[in-house]
Amino acid sequence: MDTSTSTTTAPDGAETTETCENKIISETDNQLLDAHSETVTQPKTQQDLIKEYYQNLQKHKYERFIEITMNQTTYTREEAIASLEKHKGDITQVIKEFLGVTDNREEREKEQNSKSLNQKRYSVIRECMDTAAKNFAIKQEQAKRYNEMMERRQQKIKEEAVANGNKTQ
């Protein structure tokens, strides 16, 4: 085996003799140490770990939404992504759009936003009063039924008393 040797002068002035094999091994060790030092950075804080966890969770959730959209429609991956972005990640809206179902939610929101503050106040008051009136009517009906039931019960008790009184005489 032919091994070559070389003499090098160290910074402190000492001469060292290295074989080719030793030189290759030491260069490899230096490269590994450099690679290790590049990958080893400051340890991540707990906040960074939590942030990274939630980012991965969001990515997984987004991928799942894409899969669901592709399964429920005939959209390609690109079409599914575009539709999800259009509807801000709302799968039901994407599927409704695919099926051609109209969504009245936007119309209702526009209608409510077009009212003045005073109209909104009176709408809330009117709704509250309507609810109170319905509840009052229901309670009145329940009270009426209760009174009728109590009258029938008392009448039945009197009839039984009269019937028992006639039997004993």
- Domain match, 120 and 97 both: no
- Domain match, 94 and 141 both: no
Answer yes or no: is 134 within a domain: yes
One digit per residue, pLDDT tens: the chain, 169 residues? 445 555 555 555 555 555 555 555 556 556 655 555 555 556 778 888 888 888 888 888 889 989 998 998 899 999 999 998 888 888 888 888 888 887 777 777 777 777 788 888 898 999 999 999 999 999 999 999 999 999 999 999 999 888 887 766 5
- Domain match, 103 and 123 both: no
Answer yes or no: is 59 within a domain: yes
Characterize 87-104 residue by residue with b for buried, 16 or more Cβ atoms within 10 angstroms of its Cβ, and e for exposed: beeebebbbebbeeeeee
Q: How far apart are CA 90 and CA 97, in angstroms?
A: 11
pTM of the complete model: 0.38
Answer yes or no: is 17 within a domain: no
Answer yes or no: is 18 within a domain: no
- Domain match, 51 and 108 both: yes
- Domain match, 102 and 65 both: yes
